[in-house]
Copies of this chain bind each other. A is one copy, B any other.
Amino acid sequence: MYKVKVFVTLRESVLDPQGTAVKNSLHSLSYQEVEEVRIGKYLELTIAKTDRDLDVLVKEMCERLLANTVIEDFRYEVEEVVGS
């Protein structure tokens, strides 16, 4: 069994109004030190042992469903869960 952690983030060139709103809220709460906030998604997938190549599999899932590659980047970490 594998635990795959996927991080989906907006590309640098894409505006992040949600992040700006959070930054402004942090400023109102007196956290003036915060200069920028970018918000993305974090997914944890539990994947059963498979004959398919896990790297290919995860990349495909990200490109087809989990990320919108026009405006988003993704990266992932695979962790093998032993004893299951």
Contacts and interface: CB of A to CB of B under 8 A. Distances in A.
Interface of A: 1, 7-9, 19, 22, 25-26, 29, 31, 33-50, 52, 57, 60-61, 64-66
Contacts of A9: 42, 44
A21 to B, nearest CB: 11
A8 B7 CA distance: 12
Contact of A65 (B25, B48, B57, B60): B25
Contacts of A50: 33
Contacts of A38: 43-44
B43 A57 contact: no
5 contacts: A8-B42, A34-B45, A36-B45, A40-B43, A41-B41
